Chains A and B, each alone.
Chain A
Amino acid sequence: MRNEVSYQKIRAYLLGELTPEQVKDVEDLMTRDPEFAEEVEMHRKLLPALDRLNERGLHANFQKWSK
């Protein structure tokens, strides 16, 4: 199984927030693993929806904790 790359890291890569070393790590993995490369490209298009899910998840937790 490939080493896991978190959503936060993929997001930071797409937003240009990684260090050059971290960018190299992600891009090396994309070169070695076409499925991961496709996943990164999907994230590029889906960032607003995934960020919204993150927000909705946190709000759901707030509701749960307020009871």
Chain B
Amino acid sequence: MTRARALLFALALALAACAPPAEPPIVLDLSGATAPLIDPYRFGEGGATTDQRPGARPAQETDEGGLWMRMDRVEQDLRTSGNLVRDPELNTYVQGLVCALAGPYCSDIRSYVMRLPAFNASMAPNGVMQVWTGLLVRCRDEAQLAAVIGHEIGHYVRRHSMQLWRDARDKTDFLVFFQIAIAAARVPFVTDVVTYGVIGSIYAFGRDAEREADRIGLALMARAGYDPAAVPAIWRQVVREDEADRYRAFRTIYFATHPTPRERLETLDLLARGTRTERRESGAERYRAIMKPRRLDWLRDELALRRFDRMEILLATLVEDEPAAGDLRYMQGEVYRLRGDPGDEAKALDAFRAAAAAEAPPAETHRSLGLVLRRTGERAAADAAFADYLRLKPAAEDRAMIEALIGEAP
């Protein structure tokens, strides 16, 4: 038996060794193509004839028209939501990217940036697209954001919500589905990520729909000149975060509705490598110019979730691109200071010191540095750091508390 197993193992090894080097077939050829944006990509599943047409709206008396009307009311609520980010420059940027990707569907898709932590974006059947700040803070460049937005546009064009809805209606749980659908799209005034996670499950389009959206998304972003490698890259980052979380109580919301990340990653890798295209832009500098001045508050939202293991991965990824960014190094320090694993104190000190020496660190860097130094018994250095904090932020809300700490007997 043991011998048989060893033989099988050896055979398996040999087969693996014999496998040809992975040279994926060309699945999409964009070299020199000037075709219109979406029409050429009828990926053979026969969905194209039922695609949403640009500028079209379903007739009111149809079931689809009814769903759109309800979603329009939800959109009204969204416009007055406390989580809506109204920053005109940011909104212009995101909608601009939507238009660059969606082409003739540009004015059919309305993007809403929501101030909510965690990686997520969603598409309602009437073209309302939510982009969470937790997604913006996780993308390393424009190409990665284009990958996710392109995917969502894929859902819109193929009318996946409608298919899903009709499917549910044919079963018996139509009413439940409908109510949950409305609730899911309605945004409460609190950053209640857990609630979103639960209700988000109605957007589980199913594996085939996700594959379709993946392929359309990849085609759209590659067509717009972005590097297709960004598609597997962004998903890989999020999977790494998920796997690092020791509690795993909160899976990335997106994965509640987008199945089997591992298998999907492999498929996306093949698709990306099989895409022949001449332009392979990342748009990293343009992306950073918009996001960098805004991201500290978004990172604070992430920190408030206290999912330290995930945030450690996220920050390590961002720091690779910007080792001298004071805000990122400060946040790294906060993760280690608050997590408190063995060795975290030293890591926190390193990060705060690096932040203090970097460009534009937040004033709180010095406050946190003081707290860690105090913990390690370096009271004089701690007090000096606290004094730096109060000098840089004279109106700090916790000024009296910090002054009390400075004055405390050792």
A and B: interacting chains: no
Q: Which residues of A contact B (CB under 8 A)?
A: none
Q: Which residues of B contact A (CB under 8 A)?
A: none
